Amino acid sequence: MLLMGHPNVGKSVVFNRLTGANVTVSNYPGTTVNYTKGYMKINKEDVELIDVPGTFSLEPKDMAEEVATKMLHENNDAVVICVIDASKVERGLYLALQIIEEKFPVVIALNMWDFAKDKNIQTDVDKLQQILGVPVVPTIAISGEGIKELVSKLEDARTVDVERIINNVGGLT
């Protein structure tokens, strides 16, 4: 399982909430880019979770983004938890849609929900979920709010046809 998203959206705080103490930091071969790996319990099973370096897209602009893109492509059976800054949902969706388009099962965490709320930015989570066809969960990683729900939605992660998402958007207008 992979945790992905833009830089600075709270991926590592989410990662710490999901994994136990047994984490390892590794250097991606041939680079100075580090990533962290840990394990989380799902239905009493230990599942590997990787805190992938932040990236804005799958068209890498620097070494960290290149590593992030490679890690995704090296784990082509992974479920991806896509962490999006709840105050910048539209921007964050670009990466999520790219990952969905590559047929990875995705769950979206709208993190920093508290911060977005303070800024009076609110997302209609049900509508977004309907349009995308993947689970969308508001989270506040620093307090742990929403993390349990995020875990419970992991088994609902599914691959979606992007054509369908486009049709769903069309159906709104």
Ligand X SMILES: Nc1nc2c(ncn2[C@@H]2O[C@H](COP(=O)(O)OP(=O)(O)OP(=O)(O)O)[C@@H](O)[C@H]2O)c(=O)[nH]1
Per CB under 6 A, residues contacting ligand X are 5, 7-13, 54, 111-112, 114-115, 140-142
Whole-number Å distance between alpha carbons of 173 and 168: 10
Distance set, CA 58 to CA 44, 45, 101 (Å): 33, 30, 11
Question: Of these partners, ligand X, Mg ion, none, which one is at the site of residue 107 (CB under 5 to 8 Å by kind)?
Answer: none
68 vs 160, beta carbon nearer Mg ion = 68
| 16 contributes a contact to Mg ion by CB under 5 A | no
| 12 contributes a contact to Mg ion by CB under 5 A | yes
Of the candidate spans 8-16, 63-71, 93-101, 133-141, the one that interacts with Mg ion by CB under 5 A turns out to be 8-16
Task: Evaluate whether 31 touches 71 at the Cβ level (below 8 Å).
Answer: no
54 vs 105, beta carbon nearer ligand X = 54
12 vs 129, beta carbon nearer Mg ion = 12
Of the candidate spans 7-15, 83-91, 114-122, 151-159, the one that interacts with Mg ion by CB under 5 A turns out to be 7-15
The minimum distance between CB 54 and Mg ion, in angstroms, equals 7
Task: Evaluate whether 110 touches 137 at the Cβ level (below 8 Å).
Answer: yes
The minimum distance between CB 170 and ligand X, in angstroms, equals 32
Alpha-helical (H) ranges within 8-146 are: 11-18, 63-74, 89-101, 113-118, 125-132
The minimum distance between CB 35 and ligand X, in angstroms, equals 9
7 vs 20, beta carbon nearer ligand X = 7
The residues, ordered by sequence, that sit 6+ positions from 155 with a Cβ below 8 Å of its Cβ are 42
| 168 contributes a contact to Mg ion by CB under 5 A | no
For the chain, the distance separating the N- and C-terminal CA atoms, rounded to the nearest angstrom, is 35
Whole-number Å distance between alpha carbons of 82 and 5: 6
- What is the binding site for Mg ion (CB under 5 A)? 11-12
